[in-house]
Amino acid sequence: MLSNFLSKSRPINYLIILLILVIFFFIGVFSDANVKFDLFSFGKILMNITALFFMVLLINFVVRKNTLTKDNSFSLFFVVMFFAMLPNTMKWSMIFLSNVFLLISLRRVFSLKNNVRTSIKIFDAGFWLGISILFYNNLILFWIVLLMGLVFYQRLNIKNVIISILGVIIPIFLLYVYCLTFEQLHIFTQFFDFQIDSSIVFYDNLSILIPITILVSLTIWSVISVTSGLHKISTKNRSSWFLLLTNLWIAALISFLKVDKNGGELIFLFFPTSVILANYFQKEKDKMFRNFILYLIFFVTVAIYFL
């Protein structure tokens, strides 16, 4: 049973789940009519899948390092299924690259629950966030997640807020110095062009609409279910949960406001959503229901490639 398999965290679980990711990745590659089979294209594909592996394993590392779920494979499974459901999120792009650096930043934000080297963690979180902003400037909104991390983990003071701002500003300042040195200030000026679009017309496409419907429905159900039982867990874990919800809302807002939507912008939702769903599935006692939902997600993912 899939539920029993994912309830454990063993190397074989990771290997099988990552193998599923590889299969779906190459299905997406070979189904692309524009793909070329030459040495340069092979290099791009290799770089793409390496970065994808790094991103998935980074999400798993953040989850396990900060104990955002129990010792199981649910979050890793959901992340892989979300990537497979939305093939455009697996493709190398500025959005894809920005999410890598964003995850490194979030790793430091969630580690604030442990009161060790707090100032360094805050600066690092701001610095990596600043780098991610260079690739997609709307991610500046994720500074709110960093700020709320200071609030929820009781690290909020003027000094820490200033440190977080300095961390964000330094990569942007370095970009300015580079542009000034090489007389490319128009690049720096374009950095402040915040383009937003609240249109959802593109999501009429069934291959995008079905994954979104599943993702939103399960997430809302999981948030309500887990939040109702928060009084049973420790204060630190409650803080992490509310920080995770903040992450979710900011990611949803950024995805919704993205111009030229193609499904790739939903990548920012994968980390918080996978953790939220994992928290629900690890507390749900009805194994038959858990298996039904897990198999439904898997078979819907496969069916999407035939739409």
Q: What span, in angstroms and rounded, lies between the C-alpha atoms of 184 and 188?
A: 7
Q: What is the chain's length? A: 307
- pTM equals 0.93
Residue 35: the pLDDT is 66
pLDDT tens, position by position, 184-239: 888 888 777 777 776 655 667 788 888 889 889 999 999 999 998 887 777 778 89
Question: C-alpha 124: how far from its chain's center?
Answer: 18
Q: Mark the ranges of the chain whose per-residue pLDDT is less than 50.
A: none
How much is the pLDDT for 186?
A: 80
**Number of domains, the chain:** 1
* Listed residue (223, 226, 240, 206) closest to 111, CA to CA: 240
Q: What is the pLDDT of residue 253?
A: 92
Q: Which amino acid is at 214?
A: I
Q: Which domain holds residue 158?
A: 2-304
